[in-house]
C-alpha cells in the first residue's frame, strides 16, 4: 500500500534523514586503508545507541536474505555492490567501498547510500561512482507532482546508458516511512510517463546502482552480499526524498 505523508509527518521525518546522513559522513571518514569493516559497523552501532535510534537492518530478514542481517550498516567492497554484510576484512588501497545505512528516529525511517574510493582510485572507478551520483541527481530533478515513477526510472537509465552501463532491475528504490521498504518500487530503468503518479506527501528512496561491465549479480555464501557475476566493480548512490508541491526535499542530504 502506498501512503502519502502530511507536511507535519514529513517534518517529523527530517531528524531521521539528518541522522542517517551523519552516520554515513562519520563512517565514510573512518574508512581508511587498514580499517576493518567490522569497525565501521561498530562505529555505526555506537552512533545508533547514542542517538536513541533504531537500526533498520540488524533484525531485517526478507525473503531474499538467508537469515536476519545481524549488522547495522551494509559494507560492499569492489565487485560487491548491494547488501554487503560486514565481515573481518581490512580495507586496502584502491578499494571501492559502498556504504548503505538506514535507521529509525522517533519511529520514522530514512535510507541512504554512498560510494567512494579508499586511498588511490583505479582509472575507471571515479566515472562509475560519478555516474550513479548524476543518475540520482537526474531522478531527483524530475521528482515533481505531475510526473510519474517511470520518469524517475527513465532519468536514471538515460545517465547510465549514456556512459555505456547496463542496468539490473532486480533491486531499486522504494517507499520509505514507518518501515524501511514499502511501495512503490522505483526501478532504475523504465519508460517516462508510466507508473504511479508522483503526489505531494510521497516519500521514496531513489537508489541507482551500476556494475562496470555487466548487469548480472550473484549472492555470496553469506546469503546477503550481492556481487557482479563477472567480478567487475559496482557503485551505489541513494537518498530518501519527499515529494512536495514545489521542489522535492532531500531528507538525507549530506551537504
Query: What does the pLDDT average to over 12-23?
Result: 98
* Annotated domain spans of the chain: 7-250
The binding site for substrate consists of: 83, 181
Are the beta carbons of 195 and 150 closer than 8 angstroms?
yes
Sign of the Cα torsion 73, 78, 80, 86 reads negative
Binding residues for a divalent metal cation: 100, 111, 174, 207, 238
- pLDDT, tens only, 91-133: 999 999 999 999 999 999 999 999 999 999 999 999 999 999 9
What would the pLDDT profile of 214-235 be if each residue is shown by its tens digit?
A: 999 999 999 999 999 999 999 9
pLDDT at 66: 84
Residue 25 has pLDDT above 80, yes or no: yes
Flag whether pLDDT at 136 surpasses 80: yes
Binding residue numbers:
83, 100, 111, 174, 181, 207, 238
Host H or E run for residue 141 = helix 125-141
- pLDDT at position 83: 98
pLDDT at 255: 77
Q: Is the pLDDT of residue 30 over 80?
A: yes
Mean pLDDT score, 33-53? 98
Positive or negative, the CA dihedral 86, 90, 91, 95 is negative
Predicted structure pTM score: 0.97
Q: What are the residues whose beta carbons fall under 8 Å from the beta carbon of 151, sequence distance 6 or more?
A: 142, 192, 193, 198
H/E segment holding residue 154: helix 149-162
> What's the confidence (pLDDT) of residue 78?
98
Average pLDDT, the chain: 97
Mean pLDDT to the nearest integer, 151-158: 98
* pLDDT of 245 over the 90 cut: yes
> What are 19's three cell numbers?
541522522
- pLDDT confidence of 63, banded at 50, 70, 90? confident
DSSP 236-247: E-BEEEE--SSS
- For strands 203-206 and 239-242, give the pairing: antiparallel
| pLDDT tier for residue 21 given thresholds of 50, 70 and 90 | very high
Per DSSP, the chain holds a count of helices (H) and strands (E) of 4, 14
Contact criterion met (CB below 8 Å) for 237 and 115 = yes
Reply yes or no on domain 7-250 having CATH 3.20.20.70: no
The CA distance from 101 to 152, in Å, is 22
Is it the case that residue 209 has pLDDT exceeding 90?
yes
CA distance 189 to 204: 16
DSSP states of 159-204? HHHHTT-----SS-EEE-SSSSSEEEEE-SS--TT-SSBP-TT-EE
Cell of residue 76, nine digits? 560492499
Cell of 88: 573481518
The pLDDT, as a whole number, for residue 65 is 86
Amino acid at each position: 500500500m502506498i501512503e502519502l505523508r502530511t507536511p507535519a509527518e514529513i517534518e517529523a521525518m527530517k531528524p531521521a534523514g539528518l541522522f542517517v546522513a551523519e552516520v554515513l559522513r562519520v563512517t565514510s571518514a573512518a574508512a581508511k586503508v587498514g580499517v576493518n569493516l567490522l569497525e565501521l559497523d561498530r562505529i555505526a552501532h555506537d552512533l545508533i545507541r547514542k542517538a536513541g535510534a533504531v537500526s533498520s537492518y540488524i533484525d531485517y530478514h526478507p525473503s531474499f536474505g538467508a537469515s536476519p542481517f545481524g549488522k547495522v550498516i551494509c559494507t560492499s567492497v569492489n565487485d560487491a555492490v548491494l547488501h554487503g554484510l560486514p565481515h573481518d576484512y581490512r580495507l586496502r588501497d584502491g578499494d571501492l567501498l559502498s556504504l548503505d545505512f538506514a535507521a529509525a528516529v522517533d519511529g520514522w525511517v530514512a535510507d541512504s547510500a554512498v560510494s567512494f574510493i579508499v586511498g588511490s582510485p583505479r582509472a575507471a572507478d571515479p566515472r562509475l561512482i560519478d555516474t550513479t551520483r548524476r543518475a540520482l541527481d537526474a531522478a531527483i530533478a524530475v521528482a515533481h507532482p505531475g510526473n510519474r515513477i517511470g520518469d524517475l526510472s527513465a532519468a536514471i537509465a538515460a545517465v547510465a546508458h549514456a556512459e555505456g552501463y547496463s542496468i539490473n532491475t532486480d533491486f531499486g528504490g522504494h517507499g520509505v516511512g514507518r518501515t524501511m521498504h514499502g511501495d512503490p518500487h522505483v526501478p532504475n530503468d523504465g519508460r517516462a510517463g508510466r507508473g504511479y503518479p508522483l503526489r505531494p506527501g510521497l516519500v521514496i528512496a531513489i537508489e541507482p546502482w551500476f556494475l562496470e561491465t555487466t548487469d548480472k549479480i550473484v549472492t555470496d555464501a553469506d546469503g546477503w552480499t550481492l556481487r557482479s557475476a563477472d567480478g567487475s566493480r559496482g557503485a551505489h548512490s541513494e537518498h530518501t526524498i519527499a515529494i512536495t508541491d514545489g521542489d522535492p526535499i532531500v531528507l538525507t542530504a549530506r551537504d
